[in-house]
Amino acid sequence: MIIDAIKESRMIFQRMSHYVTYRIAETIRVLFFITLSILLFGFFPITALMIVLLALLNDIPIMTIAWDNVLYSRSPERWKMREILTLATTIGFVGVVSSFILLAIAQGPLGLPLDIIRSLIFLKLAVAGHLTVFVARTRGPFWSVRPAPALLGAVIATQTVATLITVYGIFIAPIGWPLAIFVWVYALVWALVITDPVKVYAYRLIDRGSIPFVR
């Protein structure tokens, strides 16, 4: 009984740690992108309504992290805030870079009108935000721990809603299926092929003590 309670408490701690990492990374990813877009380019990448929609869509899946599958630690847990901040900042700023690259593609090669660009960015932030959950919830590669059905189901449901809103123009300008598929592929590549390996490498540097200020 006592052993089970200790295991459960350590699993709860892991879920809390994953939530904090995700929340900090997501805040950096969205707020820095919006702020820098406004300050550097005088461009508002998303509208106030889109920000509200993002908040609503992001909050539903992250609540299900309370039931997520995690690996409990063999030793007593403690908060390692420097490690969490390092990982979250790394994940967040990779997301900022990916958003600016997509913005450049939309304005340059694609030559999209302003309202379509905003819808494109909205879908990217929504999709990438939920993919960030899968990146932040594991210390190893994103597939190393299978997500709980509740988390996976919530992400699929909210992403379906976000995609349909953007494709058919519910409250925002419609972008159609070709652009939506492009955004999905773009977000998947950045999250699972680029951001996740960067996260794993950052953890390795931390474990080896190669990042002194994290100790």
Cα–chain-centroid distance for residue 138? 13
How far is the C-alpha of 102 from the C-alpha of 41, rounded, in Å?
15
- The number of CA neighbours under 13 Å toward the Cβ of 112 is 21
Reported pTM: 0.87
Four-way CATH pick for 2-69+79-207: 1.25.10.10, 3.50.50.60, 1.20.1110.10, 3.40.50.970: 1.20.1110.10
Return the domain boundaries, the chain. 2-69+79-207
What integer pLDDT is reported at residue 8 of this predicted model?
Answer: 67
Residue from 174, 204, 211, 151 nearest 22 by CA: 151
- Each residue of 154-196: pLDDT tens digit? 899 999 999 999 999 888 999 999 999 999 999 999 999 999 9
Q: Which of 23-32, 153-162, 195-204, 206-215 has the lowest mean pLDDT?
A: 206-215
